[in-house]
Structures are given as C-alpha cells and as structure tokens.
C-alpha cells in the first residue's frame, strides 16, 4: 500500500485484495495513518478488486479510532460497492467518488 498527502490529509492507496491474508497489514497501516494524519484519512479503493469481512472489520476498527469522522473511502469499483451495500457499510463510513471530493467535504463549513 502506498500513500500520498494533500495538505494534512493522508490518502492511502491499497492494491489488489483486502482479505484474511492481507487485512492485518492493511489495518496496521490504516491505524498508523489515522494516528498521524490531523486532517483525516481517505482510502482510495481504485485498485482494490475485493474486500472480505476481515477487511471490513479493519475499516470498522479504523472508524472507531477516528472519532472526528474524517475517514472515508473513495473510488469504489462496482463489486466493492455491492459488498459495502450487502454489509450496509455505507452507513458506517462515508463513500465518495474521489479522494478530492472527500477532502472538499471536510473543508466545507456546515451551515
């Protein structure tokens, strides 16, 4: 997994599958990013082909750690959208089309 940054927001770029064999490493890197990114964390799923329940658990752990709600996923492929919908994960973590949309939503003041 690589990462980039936009201002104080960390963007994670996992690749391939997030399943039982890779979810522990994914969770470790995700929690590290959450600990140091003051502006939030976006996980860019453009290169993810599959996420298992173990991967969803890693995301749930991250949501619980990032209480300010500045944690989001972006760039979900249709198969990942379907997995999120089946697990009702769209109610757990914010989903955006792009990382830029997520970042923009955090910087827009609420009325």
pLDDT of 54 higher than 60: yes
Report pLDDT digits (tens) over 42-51: 999 999 999 9
Q: Residue 108's pLDDT is what?
A: 56
Q: What's the pTM?
A: 0.90
Give the C-alpha separation, 16 to 51, whole Å.
9
Give the C-alpha separation, 22 to 70, whole Å.
24
Partnered with residue 28 across adjacent β-strands are none
Report pLDDT digits (tens) over 56-110: 999 999 999 887 778 999 999 999 999 999 999 999 999 999 999 999 988 755 4
Are 71 and 64 within 8 A, CB to CB? Answer: no
Q: Does 3.30.750.24 match the CATH number of domain 2-107?
A: yes
Q: Where are the alpha helices (DSSP H) in 22-98?
A: 23-36, 53-65, 78-86
- Sequence spans of domains, the chain: 2-107
Question: Mean pLDDT, to the nearest integer, of 21-28?
Answer: 96
């Amino acid at each position: 997994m690589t990462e980039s940054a936009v201002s104080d927001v960390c963007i994670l770029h996992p690749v391939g599958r997030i399943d039982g064999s890779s979810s522990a490493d994914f969770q470790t890197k995700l929690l590290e990013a959450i600990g140091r990114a003051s502006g939030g964390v976006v996980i860019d799923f453009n290169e993810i082909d599959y996420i298992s329940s173990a991967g969803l658990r890693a995301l749930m752990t991250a949501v619980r750690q990032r209480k300010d709600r500045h944690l989001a996923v972006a760039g979900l492929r249709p198969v990942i959208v379907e997995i999120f919908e089946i697990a009702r994960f769209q109610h757990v973590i914010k989903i955006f089309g792009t990382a830029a949309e997520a970042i923009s939503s955090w910087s827009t003041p609420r009325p």
